[in-house]
Amino acid sequence: MTHNFTPNDLLRFLYRETTHEEDLRIKLWISQDLNAYDLFMQMIHSAKSLNFVPLQPSETSVSIILDYSRQTSQAESHV
Amino acid sequence: MQTQILNDEALVLQYMNGNEQSLEILIRRHKSKIFTSIFMFLRDQYLAEDLFQETFIKVVRKLRAGQYQEEGKFLPWVMRISHNLCIDFYRKTRRTPQIVTPEGFDIFNVLQFSDGNPENMVIRKQSHERVRAMVDELPVEQKEVVILRHYADLSFKEIAEITNVSINTALGRMRYALINLRKMQMEKQIAL
């Protein structure tokens, strides 16, 4: 069976940007084509290596923004 | 509270109509993705805090000035602002990211986002530095796509728009980034 997918399609599949129909066809492709399977596994390993716990800005930063917003809002309402 | 279940667009509208709490909800909803992305670009906690604040101060000004016209795309819009600030910062300080070398990093473990297991927190803190060092070694175009896709959670289409390239170019850059990351791992003879 001939597939018209490219490595870029595998990448979209990895990041869940493919349609349901594409999902099914790409899964079939991966299950039937050893090269596609190997490439997809390499992509998974590399992408997983990027994972770490998400970072958070400090509460001070959030407060500074909110204070700025309130102050400028009040200033504008007095104009 | 009712506003907590509103989508971004409704919150933006409420904020533009004077509801300050809506801005807080928007910030808390997206702060992690935005801050992590800025931090990965700048590699400096304090600078990242500054640019995070600057990003949202620009957001406030633009919303007040009626310059938000991207319905349904609040996060990509904010990411575009923060991304431009990061690029400006690079230009001013000439902090050019390094080209790939096999040195200076060590992959530790395969980690997942949003896994709250406290037993792994120490490991994650250590790994975070290693991942950051690895991303830093990518060519700047690849690093950019990796950060915007993997940490900011933007689609390749949105990344293409922000970075002024085609979707295929954005996808290609991500693909080469993953290949380079794999090479780095292989060169270090580390199996994930």
Contact by Cβ (8 Å): B76, B154 = yes
Cβ-Cβ contacts under 8 Å for B181 (sequence gap 6 or more): A46, A49, A50, B134, B138
Number of domains in chain A: 1
Closest Cα in chain B, distance from residue A53 (Å): 5
Quick count: other Cβ atoms within 10 Å of Cβ B32?
18
CB-closest option in A51, A55, A72 to B112? A51
Q: Averaged over B159-171, what is the pLDDT?
A: 95
Domain boundaries, chain B: 1-96, 97-192
Nearest to B56 by CA among B73, B79, B90, B88: B79
Has residue A1 been placed in a domain? Answer: no
Which value, to the nearest 10 degrees, does the dihedral of the CA atoms of residues B170, B151, B8, B25 take?
-160
Q: Which residue pairs, CB below 8 angstroms and at least 24 apart, start in B16-21?
A: B16/B63, B16/B64, B16/B66, B16/B68, B18/A73, B20/A66, B20/A69, B20/A70, B20/A73
Has residue A38 been placed in a domain? Answer: yes
Domain that holds residue A57: 7-78
How would you class B27 by CB atoms within 10 Å of its CB: exposed for 0-12, middle for 13-18, buried for 19 or more? buried
Q: Could you tell me which residues of chain A have a Cβ less than 8 Å from any Cβ in chain B?
A: 7-8, 11-12, 15, 17, 42-43, 45-58, 60-62, 64-66, 68-70, 72-73, 76
Tell me what pLDDT residue B67 has.
87
Query: What are A25-73's pLDDT values in tens digits?
Result: 998 899 889 999 999 999 998 998 888 878 899 999 999 999 999 998 8
Tell me, which fold does domain B1-96 have in CATH?
Rna Polymerase Sigma Factor; Chain: A (1.10.1740)
Tell me what pLDDT residue B125 has.
55
Query: What are B79-94's pLDDT values in tens digits?
Result: 999 999 998 887 777 5
Q: How confident is the model at residue B53 (pLDDT cuts 50, 70, 90)?
A: very high
Q: How many CB pairs under 8 A join A and B?
A: 119
Tell me, which fold does domain B97-192 have in CATH?
Arc Repressor Mutant, subunit A (1.10.10)
Nearest to B15 by CA among B49, B55, B59: B59
CB-closest option in B57, B134, B192 to A48? B192
Has residue A14 been placed in a domain? Answer: yes
Tell me what pLDDT residue B192 has.
46
Has residue A21 been placed in a domain? Answer: yes
DSSP state of A54: P
Has residue A2 been placed in a domain? Answer: no
Nearest to B8 by CA among B89, B71, B99, B101: B71
What is the average pLDDT score of chain B? 80
